[in-house]
Each structure stands twice: as structure tokens, then as C-alpha cells.
Chains A and B, each alone.
Chain A
Amino acid sequence: MQGQPVISVRELSTRFGSQVVHEELELDVSQGEILGIVGASGTGKSVLLHEILGLMRPVRGRILVLGQDLAALGDAARRALQARQGVLFQDGALFSSMTVGQNIQAPLRERLELSEELLGHLAGLKLALVGLPLDACNKYPAELSGGMRKRAGLARALALDPEILFLDEPTAGLDPIGAAEFDRLIRGLQQSLGLTAVMVTHDLDTLIATCDRIAALVDKRALVGTLDELRNLDHPWLRAYFDGPRGRAALRAPLEEA
């Protein structure tokens, strides 16, 4: 489904001191797609994500999220925009002083007036959606495994029913089976909830299993296209990425499954 871009980044430049990370970077994310951001370490994948989230200000350039220019937003508009996007940070970033249930309810309590009964039901619903058992609700993040923490983080990211979901390395630190399950979970949720998702990832399997399009950060810009389009581009980094031993293995797998 291709429609109006949900996120569009125009002429974005980022610098740390004299080190240029992005230069004239352009990126569009369409409604209802999953876009994967890849790139070598230090190419500014996480920086780009932080800029789109408004956690960091770019040196130059415009970022429009859901049609609104981030730089021009007032506090109230920014808060309203934040409610329409959910973020899963790398290790879940759950609040360690709260139980999983309280973590999921935290954005709901902050934004809406809901009864305790409804809050309990909603927390149970989100837990069920991300495939966590109900007894995880009263556990603290420290008592959960890495995979469960990510699921709980995803449940919190989905608490406000966002239109855009940002995922930072969703499968990093998971075992291959857990990672594959997480890929399926994200794909399934994206389809049933009609989300637009942007994920930063290193994981080729995740990229192939979940993403509709890929943005590769090379030479301080973004090369955007479907997997096949990028594979046909003649760029040394893309060649090394897709045609390396790991890339070939990951690309073979879906064919064998079919």
C-alpha cells in the first residue's frame, strides 16, 4: 500500500564536531510499510532514529512526521504527536521501578482518564497481543529474560495504539529462535493493527523476514529501495553486505521455506 509519506526527511545534515554523519540525507516512509534502516557501525542509524523521534536536533534539514514539521512544533503539538508514535528501545527501556503492568499502563495513565478496571483489561490485552503470559504483569523488568523484556517494551510502545512504531535493534541479543518469533510478531502486529514501522537493525534475517523496503545508510546518505532493488545496485558496501556469507545464507533461507 503506497500512500502519503508518513515520515519524510529532507536535506538532513548531522555533524558531531568536525565529523559529518549525514549530508543531504533524504528519506520517505509510506503509510503501512515496514522500513528497515541498515548501515555499518557509525553511519548514524541510531542518530537518524533519534532525530526522527525529536530526541536530537539535526544541524540542518527538515523532518516531517505525520505531516508536521518537528522543528516548528510547540509543546502541546509535540505531545500530541508523541502519542501517535511508539518506540521500542534496544533493551526494552522499561522503567525498572515499576512492574511490567505498570510500565504498560504508564502512558495510558499519563494521557487518559481511565478506570482501574479498564487499565487492567488494557494491560492484559497488550500482554496477550505481544505473546506474554499474564503472570508477567506483576513482575519487575529485572526478573524477566531479555526476550520477555523486549516483548514487554513492545507492549508499552503499543499502549497508546500508535500509528507509527519505531524499533531500535528489535532482535539484537535474542537467540535465533526468539529472534524469528519476534520477526513474526512484528510482522503480524503490523498487518493486523495497520501500523507503519521503522526499524534499525543489523540482522539480515529480520530485514528479509519483515521489511518491505530498506534504507541503507552509505556515504552519509540513504539508498532506499526494496531488497531486490538494493541488491542490484552496484555499491561496494551493499555488495559486501548482501553477498557476504551471512547475507547469502539469509537470502537463501526464505526460498527454501517456500
Chain B
Amino acid sequence: MADAWLTSVERDERLLVDAGGGWTLAELMGLDRARAALVAGLRPAGGVARIGLESMDRLDTAGAWLLHRLERELAERGWRVELAGVRQPHAALLDEIRRAHAEPAPAPPRVNPLVRLVAGLGQGAIHALDEGRRLLAFYGQTLIVLARVLVEPRRLRLTSITHHLEQTCVNALPIVGLIAFLIGVVMAYQGADQLRRLGAEIFTVDLLGIAILREIGILLTSIVVAGRSGSAFTAQIGAMQVNEEIDAMRTIGLDPIEVLVVPRMLALMIALPLLAFFSDVLGLFGGGLMCALALGIPPAQFLAQLDAAITVETFLVGLVKAPVFAFLIAMVGCYEGLKVERNAESVGRLTTQSVVVGIFLVIVFDALFSVLFSYLGV
């Protein structure tokens, strides 16, 4: 016999139930099966049912609940239930369970997966549009504050701008430089591989110059900065939001946009063009090094060819995008940070979102710039 049992016999119109052993959570599954069998095997007409607990060793809440359930089910079928041989600690527990009057917890509502998919798609679309509208409103709000700050320059927080310039520009130099250099190397190698078939290896230099200056340098830098600084902005401001620092600022009359957003935005708008320039230089250096080492184009020839291929305009077309991208990244970073709720989980979620939205916007605007430049014929 198991460590816990539930048995019954009928004698002289009386149902004698013996419940004993350790009625605990560990035995619950087996005891519940015994209960179901006992109740199912009952004849409909009732009588007196005596539940004997004389040999009950241990009883926990789960066991007491099961006993209570049996009691109720017998009563529902017209039996008069008597508990016998209940010892003291068990009696108190049974009373507590009867008083608590537990009902089964409702199962979570189930939705057809297809309906959920369609509903999710709709909700997602509405949410994205709504978010876009709010982000646009935030842009406007920030521009108004920026205008106020420019009219009244003493409101410009130079210390904060310098600090963020160091964080986003100086500290980003190694990673931006390394990535630009390696991409220059890869592009030179891959470009030369294709152009060699046409006997036009020398045009690798043109490819490098135009691609890096117009597109790759700035795009790559923006993506790294979105991952590095955009996320940092969200996490910093988000942590302050969790800590109620933003609310504290508002109560003492400080405008969080003026104190937190404007300095970060201005710092990033200065930092990104500088980083893009740095990235251009290192990209070309990497490409040039590859040309010299692997393709046999000496540096002097590289420079002469580069000079013929590009103009200052090529360089400026790339660089003019930098402040715009910086504005987008900083705005998204700060906006998501201010959206953080008072729990740590939302900091993580919104930081991820800030990077994704930041990179998305950078690439969308890069495409828009391409369209614009092709209209302008540059």
C-alpha cells in the first residue's frame, strides 16, 4: 500500500471511508485519482458517510483541500458527511481550508492563434504609427526647447555637452576606426577581385573613394554610434526615470528636455561628423594599404588615382548627412529613455528598441538622401 490511502466500504447503509497516511502534496495525484474513483462508484441514494481520519499521520494544505473536496462532493450527492477521529493540528488546518473556500483558478483565456496573429498585426501597425506620431511630437518639442536655449545661451549646459562629447566621440574612436579600417581592407580586396577580370584593377581606387566617402563611412559610423551611444542615452535616462530623478527634476523646475536631451543631442551632432571624417580617413587608409600590399598599386599611384576620382563634393555629400543622422539617433535614444516606466525590465526592452529604431531611421534617411541627391544631380 502507498504511503497515503483513501478507501471505502459500504455497510448497513453507511459509507465508511478510511483516509490515512501522509496526505501531502507529494501524494496528491494518486489521492485525487482515488477520490475520483470513490465518487464515481457511489450509488446515487445517500445515507451517512463517515470519513475516518484515525490513521492520518500528516496533513498539509493540499491534503486538507482534497479532503474538503471529497466532503463537498459527498454532500452534493446527498450523503450526510461525518468526520471522525480528527486530531488537533489537522482540525485547525481543515477549518482554515473550509474558511478560505477556495475555487479553482480560472484557466488563462485561449485565443485562436490565427485571430491572435491578425489582431497582433493590426495592433502592431497602429502602435508603430502612434509611436511615429509621438516621436515626431518629441522632435518638435525638442526643437522648441533648442530654439529657446539658442536665444538664451546661458541655458546651454557646456559641461554636460563636453562630457557627452567625450563619451560619444573620443571614446568611440578606437571601435569606429577599427571597423572602418577593416571594411576598407575588405572592400579593396573584393573590388579588385571583380575588376581584375576586366583588367580594370586600378578602378578599385575609384570604387573605394566614392563608396567610402559617400556611403560606407558615414553609414557604418552611424550604425556603430546608434548601437553605442543611442543605447547609452536610453539606459542613462531610463535609469534616472526608474529612480524618479526625472520627476524630481520637474518638481524643482528643471526641464528634462533642456537638461538631458539638448546637451546629448548637440554633443552627438558635433561628434558624428568628426567620427565620420575619422572613419573616412581610416577606411581609405585600409583600402590603400590593401592596394599597396596585395594589388601592387603603390601609394603615390593610389593618391593620384584617388585625386582624379573624387572631388570635395563627394566628401561633403557623405558628411552633410552626419548631423542629420546624429539628430535622429540622439532623439530616439532620449525619447525611449524618457518612455521608461518604473521597472527595470522596461529599461532593457526600450534600450533594445532604441538601437533598432535608431538604425532603421538612419537607413531610411540614407535612402531619402540618395533620392534627393539624384534629383539634385550630385
Contacts and interface: CB of A to CB of B under 8 A. Distances in A.
B102 A121 contact: yes
B96 A129 contact: yes
A56 interface: no
Contacts of A193: 60-61, 93, 96
Interface of A: 96, 99, 101, 108, 112-118, 120-129, 134-135, 137-138, 142, 158, 160-161, 188-189, 191-194
B343 A124 contact: no
22 contacts: A96-B343, A101-B105, A112-B29, A113-B29, A118-B29, A120-B106, A122-B62, A123-B105, A125-B97, A128-B101, A128-B102, A129-B97, A129-B100, A134-B103, A137-B105, A138-B109, A158-B61, A160-B25, A161-B60, A161-B62, A189-B96, A192-B92
Task: Give the secondary structure class of B's interface.
Answer: helix
- Contact residues on B (Cβ < 8 Å of other chain), bracket: 20 to 34
Most buried by A among B32, B69, B102, B343: B102
B102 A112 contact: no
Given A118-B28, A124-B104, A128-B101, A191 B65 contact: no
B107 A191 contact: no
A127 B25 contact: no
Nearest to B103: A124
B109 A122 contact: no
Task: Give the secondary structure class of A's interface.
Answer: helix
Nearest to B29: A114
B89 interface: yes
A128 B64 CA distance: 14
A120 B29 CA distance: 13
A124 B93 CA distance: 17
A143 B146 CA distance: 37
Interface string B79-118: 0000000000100110111001111111111000000000
B105 A120 contact: yes
Given A101-B108, A137-B106, A122 B343 contact: no
Interface string B344-356: 0100000000000
Nearest to A159: B25
Given A96-B343, A128-B100, A192-B92, A112 B26 contact: yes
